Amino acid sequence: MHWDPALQLAFSICTGIATGSWARLRGRPFYLWFLFGALAWVVAIPWLLFTKSRLSDRAPPAGAVLLSSLAGVCAAAILVGDIALAPAILPNCDYYSNIAVLNKAMPGSPASKDGSI
Protein backbone atom coordinates (compact mmCIF):
# COMPACT_ATOMS: atom_id res chain seq x y z
CA MET A 1 0.00 0.00 0.00
CA HIS A 2 1.26 3.47 -0.89
CA TRP A 3 1.25 5.97 1.96
CA ASP A 4 1.52 9.64 1.23
CA PRO A 5 3.46 11.30 4.11
CA ALA A 6 0.60 13.73 4.82
CA LEU A 7 -1.90 10.87 5.05
CA GLN A 8 0.50 8.91 7.25
CA LEU A 9 0.82 11.86 9.62
CA ALA A 10 -2.95 12.41 9.74
CA PHE A 11 -3.54 8.69 10.33
CA SER A 12 -0.97 8.63 13.15
CA ILE A 13 -2.52 11.67 14.82
CA CYS A 14 -6.03 10.18 14.59
CA THR A 15 -4.97 6.80 15.98
CA GLY A 16 -2.96 8.54 18.71
CA ILE A 17 -5.93 10.67 19.74
CA ALA A 18 -8.26 7.67 19.70
CA THR A 19 -5.92 5.56 21.80
CA GLY A 20 -5.01 8.40 24.18
CA SER A 21 -8.59 9.43 24.85
CA TRP A 22 -9.64 5.84 25.32
CA ALA A 23 -6.77 5.34 27.78
CA ARG A 24 -7.84 8.51 29.61
CA LEU A 25 -11.32 7.04 29.81
CA ARG A 26 -9.79 4.03 31.56
CA GLY A 27 -7.72 6.14 34.00
CA ARG A 28 -4.36 6.15 32.24
CA PRO A 29 -2.19 9.11 31.13
CA PHE A 30 -3.28 10.62 27.79
CA TYR A 31 0.07 11.76 26.35
CA LEU A 32 1.91 8.51 26.94
CA TRP A 33 -0.88 6.54 25.29
CA PHE A 34 -1.15 9.13 22.52
CA LEU A 35 2.47 8.38 21.54
CA PHE A 36 1.98 4.64 21.97
CA GLY A 37 -1.19 4.72 19.86
CA ALA A 38 0.37 6.87 17.13
CA LEU A 39 3.37 4.56 16.79
CA ALA A 40 1.90 1.12 17.53
CA TRP A 41 -1.90 1.29 17.60
CA VAL A 42 -2.16 -2.39 16.64
CA VAL A 43 -0.61 -3.26 20.00
CA ALA A 44 -2.09 -0.39 22.05
CA ILE A 45 -5.78 -1.02 21.30
CA PRO A 46 -5.80 -4.71 22.38
CA TRP A 47 -3.68 -3.81 25.40
CA LEU A 48 -6.34 -1.33 26.53
CA LEU A 49 -9.08 -3.85 25.77
CA PHE A 50 -7.64 -6.63 27.92
CA THR A 51 -6.21 -4.69 30.86
CA LYS A 52 -8.17 -3.64 33.91
CA SER A 53 -9.39 -0.07 34.21
CA ARG A 54 -7.64 2.07 36.81
CA LEU A 55 -10.80 3.98 37.64
CA SER A 56 -12.48 2.73 40.79
CA ASP A 57 -15.74 4.59 41.32
CA ARG A 58 -14.91 7.83 39.52
CA ALA A 59 -16.85 8.83 36.45
CA PRO A 60 -14.86 8.89 33.21
CA PRO A 61 -13.79 12.29 31.87
CA ALA A 62 -16.50 14.13 29.95
CA GLY A 63 -16.26 13.81 26.19
CA ALA A 64 -13.64 11.06 26.16
CA VAL A 65 -15.96 8.53 24.53
CA LEU A 66 -17.02 10.99 21.84
CA LEU A 67 -13.43 12.06 21.15
CA SER A 68 -12.23 8.47 20.95
CA SER A 69 -15.07 7.52 18.59
CA LEU A 70 -14.51 10.51 16.31
CA ALA A 71 -10.76 9.89 16.14
CA GLY A 72 -11.34 6.22 15.31
CA VAL A 73 -13.75 7.16 12.52
CA CYS A 74 -11.21 9.72 11.28
CA ALA A 75 -8.47 7.05 11.16
CA ALA A 76 -10.76 4.64 9.30
CA ALA A 77 -11.71 7.36 6.78
CA ILE A 78 -8.05 8.17 6.13
CA LEU A 79 -7.25 4.48 5.63
CA VAL A 80 -10.12 4.07 3.14
CA GLY A 81 -9.12 7.30 1.40
CA ASP A 82 -5.54 6.11 1.07
CA ILE A 83 -6.69 2.86 -0.50
CA ALA A 84 -9.04 4.71 -2.87
CA LEU A 85 -6.41 7.27 -3.90
CA ALA A 86 -3.61 4.76 -4.42
CA PRO A 87 -1.79 5.15 -7.73
CA ALA A 88 -2.62 2.69 -10.48
CA ILE A 89 -0.34 -0.30 -10.87
CA LEU A 90 1.00 -0.32 -14.40
CA PRO A 91 2.38 -3.39 -16.15
CA ASN A 92 6.13 -3.73 -16.40
CA CYS A 93 7.23 -2.40 -19.79
CA ASP A 94 10.67 -3.76 -20.51
CA TYR A 95 12.77 -1.68 -22.92
CA TYR A 96 14.74 -4.62 -24.25
CA SER A 97 11.73 -6.78 -25.05
CA ASN A 98 10.23 -3.86 -26.98
CA ILE A 99 13.41 -3.56 -29.08
CA ALA A 100 13.26 -7.30 -29.80
CA VAL A 101 9.64 -6.97 -30.93
CA LEU A 102 10.58 -4.09 -33.23
CA ASN A 103 13.45 -6.06 -34.74
CA LYS A 104 11.11 -8.98 -35.44
CA ALA A 105 8.55 -6.64 -37.00
CA MET A 106 11.05 -5.23 -39.54
CA PRO A 107 13.16 -8.24 -40.61
CA GLY A 108 13.30 -7.43 -44.34
CA SER A 109 14.11 -3.74 -44.25
CA PRO A 110 17.67 -2.72 -45.12
CA ALA A 111 17.76 -0.36 -42.12
CA SER A 112 17.37 -3.24 -39.68
CA LYS A 113 20.24 -5.20 -41.23
CA ASP A 114 22.89 -2.52 -40.96
CA GLY A 115 21.65 -1.21 -37.57
CA SER A 116 20.91 2.36 -38.67
CA ILE A 117 17.33 2.66 -37.51
Q: For the chain, what is the total number of helices (H) and then of strands (E)?
A: 5, 0
pLDDT of residue 2 exceeding 80: no
15-24, 64-73, 92-101 — which is least confidently predicted?
92-101
pLDDT tens figures, 24-51: 888 889 899 999 989 988 888 888 878 8
The pLDDT score that the predictor gives to residue 102 is 60
CA dist., res. 107 & res. 96, Å (int):
17
Please give, one letter per residue, the 3-state secondary structure of 46-61. Answer: HHHHHCCCCCCCCCCC
The pLDDT score that the predictor gives to residue 76 is 83
The pLDDT score that the predictor gives to residue 32 is 93
For 25, the domain range is 5-114
Q: Please, are residues 22 and 82 in contact by the beta-carbon 8 Å criterion? A: no
Total tally of structural domains belonging to the chain: 1
CA dist., res. 109 & res. 106, Å (int):
6
pLDDT of residue 1 exceeding 60: no
pLDDT of residue 20 exceeding 80: yes
